[in-house]
Amino acid sequence: MVNSAARRAEVEQAVARDDIELVRFLWVDHSSVTRGKAVSRSSLASRMESGVGLARTRQAAGLLDLGQPVPGFDAVGEVRLLPDPESYVPLPHAPGSAGMLCDLVTVDGEPWDACPRTFLKEALAAADGYHVSAAFEPEFTLCAGQPRPGALELFDDSLCFDNEGFDVANSYSIELLRALRAQKLEVETYHPEFGHGQHEMTLRHAPALRAVDNYVWQRATTRGVARARGMWATFAPVPRPGLRGNGNHAHLSLWGPGPDGRTVNLFADDSDPLGLSALARHFIAGLLDHLPGLTALTTASVNSYHRLQPGMWAGAFGAWGPDNREAAIRIPSRLRGSEAASTNIELKTCDSTANPYLALGAMIHAGMDGVRRRLDPGAPLTADPARLSDDELRRHGVRALPRSLEEAVDALERDEFLMSVLGPARRALYPSVKRADIRDLKAMPEADDYALHAIRY
Ligand code: GLU
Ligand code: MG
């Protein structure tokens, strides 16, 4: 983050230009809810430098907003929301308002070890000099209005890639795209997805931290534009029983100097049948090795496991393969004309209930662990695992993945590598917050559980 005087002055100019009254200082919590406090235009300059105070215990809160009894997280103690001026965007659906994404820092301005955005920065700094490029594919369900327990009305019943689905949602999708452009978020593609009411708009890939910030804004704007029209957009993995799942596939590649010193995609190797370098294969193997624990961070809610089922194209099988939509790790076929640049790997076991900074940071740590240990991912899976028998799955080395958040959190706590990179504060907080959600949701009627996710996400 370059929170320099020059950057802060640029934000002040943008605030005047965009006629902004309130600037939100936002962060994303362990439940992946975007929260924050706002400052007025007149106090912006000083608060960009000092930050805004926040009770430490907010990072111990779960989906029901209650702080969990984690040692060191009680009524005492503050941190600061310190904004990254480069993340400034106006909020077109909320005229007069703008926002910046923040790091949580100590009152002395030092990085705080419970800050998710700092976790991603640390993962990037520990990636042996590689630059990480990333992109997300967040799917969402458009509803006619705010969902209620047992009552979620879809906005459209269009089919997958349905031309008429484009028409039905045209006014919304064009307004959304223009709002994103006003935020300097570059939309690449849009389509009505497989499920009724399901849509997907993708942004161009970017350096990892920027890609995650962009995704956070995209999600907020997608929901905000819908809400301003009396509609509702939800990124919940499964907002209503029986719907197709909403994934948030994470794509990444590692970049660095090539043989002639120019920056190139180090995941690409044109001589390989899949176009993948040895570096990419080691990285994939690291992801596979840590996948059970990783799912607690990438498919991070009770609701996630309604989606993470065979046949949902959600990557419910611990395997990797070229354009294999049932494998957790899909290798997308490369784009003609930009083969090397478009080489990347996709983690499908990722959804929008995951804190994206923690999810991508953990993916980078896991992949880099595979690189350092020179792990081998084995042969790619070219068959559809949902159609293989248990025996065949075993023969292909397909690993079982957690089937519930509880199993995932257990797996995370068993993964000493992931626990150690999380650091002392996050490794204490994260499982406690998730176990509180598991307990609280078990006590709810099932309809409330779906509705809660449909509303919060
Ligand atoms: N909706 C699927 C999921 O839950 C993904 C479909 C696709 O391949 O885009 O991940
Ligand atoms: Mg999709």
Ligand 1 lined by 313 (C-beta under 6 Å): yes
Instruction: State CA 407 to chain mean position distance.
Output: 20
307 lines ligand 1 (CB under 6 A): yes
Calculate how far, in angstroms, residue 209's C-alpha sits from the geometric centre of ligand 1.
24
DSSP state of 41: H
Q: How far is the CA of 216 from the centre of ligand 2 (A)?
A: 18
58 in Cβ contact with 78 (< 8 Å): no
Q: Given the structure tokens 């909020």, which residue do they identify?
A: 91
Atom of ligand 1 nearest to the CA of 139: 1
Q: Is the CB of 139 under 6 A from ligand 1?
A: yes
Q: How far is the CA of 403 from the centre of ligand 1 (A)?
A: 18
Cα(363) to centroid of ligand 2, in Å? 20
Q: What is the pLDDT of residue 140?
A: 98
Q: Which two tokens stand for residue 114?
A: 């419970």
Alpha helices by DSSP H, listed for 72-230, are 116-125, 163-168, 170-182, 208-228
Locus of tokens 């990124």: 235
The best mutation among 191, 200, 325, 384 to test binding of ligand 1, ranked by most ligand atoms within 8 Å of the C-beta, falls on 325
- Supply the DSSP symbol for 193: -
Residue that has been written with the tokens 């902004």 in this structure? 20
Coil vs helix vs strand at 373: coil
Query: How many Cβ atoms are within 10 Å of 274's Cβ, its own excluded?
Result: 17
Which residue puts its alpha carbon closest to atom 6 of ligand 1?
Answer: 313
pTM higher than 0.85 for the full model?
Answer: yes
In the chain, how long is the greatest CA-to-CA distance? 67
Distance CA 124, CA 4 (A): 21
SS3 call for 63: coil
424 sits in which H/E element: helix 416-442
CB 362 within 8 A of CB 295: no
pLDDT value, residue 232: 98
> CA-to-CA distance for 179 and 172, rounded, in angstroms?
10
Rounded CA separation 18/210 (Å)? 22
- Domains along the chain with CATH numbers: 5-112 (3.10.20.70), 123-456 (3.30.590.10)
Q: Which of 249, 305, 401 to mutate to test the pocket of ligand 1 (most atoms within 8 A of CB)?
A: 249
62 lines ligand 1 (CB under 6 A): no
Ligand 1 centroid–CA 298 distance in Å is: 15
Buried/exposed 149-173: b ≥16 CB within 10 Å, e otherwise: beebebbbebeeebeebeebbeebb
**Res 75: pLDDT:** 87
Which pLDDT value is given to residue 1?
Answer: 54
Atom in ligand 1 nearest the alpha carbon of residue 348: 10
pLDDT of 165: 94
* Whether the Cβ atoms of residue 62 and residue 30 lie closer than 8 Å to each other: yes
User: Which atom of ligand 1 is found nearest the CA of 248?
Assistant: 10
Q: Is 346 in the pocket of ligand 1 (CB under 6 A)?
A: no
Cα 329 to ligand 2 centroid, rounded to whole Å: 14
Q: Among residues 234, 306, 300, 298, which one has the least CA distance to residue 63? A: 300
Ligand 1 contacts CB of residue 434 (under 6 A): no
User: What is the whole-number distance in angstroms between the Cα of residue 370 and the centre of ligand 1?
Assistant: 26
Residues composing the chain:
457
pLDDT at 5: 87
Q: Which residues surround ligand 2, an ion (CB under 5 A)?
A: 200
Residues 6+ apart with CB under 8 A from 228: 93, 94
For residue 325 the two structure tokens come to 């939509």
Q: Which ligand is nearest to the CA of 330?
A: 1
Residue 62 Cα to ligand 1 middle (Å):
27
312 lines ligand 1 (CB under 6 A): yes
Query: Which atom, in ligand 1's list, is nearest to the CA of 245?
Result: 4
- Report the pLDDT value the prediction gives residue 4, as an integer from 0 to 100: 85
Residue 2 confidence (pLDDT): 66
Segments in the chain below pLDDT 70? 1-2
The reported pLDDT for the residue numbered 359 is 98
**Residue 237 Cβ contacting ligand 1 at under 6 Å:** no
348 lines ligand 1 (CB under 6 A): yes
Q: Is the dihedral of CA 402, 405, 410, 412 positive or negative?
A: positive
**Could you tell me the distance, in angstroms and rounded to a whole number, from the CA of residue 325 to the centre of ligand 2?**
10
**Ligand 1 pocket residue status of 325, Cβ below 6 Å:** yes
Question: Are 12 and 20 within 8 A, CB to CB?
Answer: no
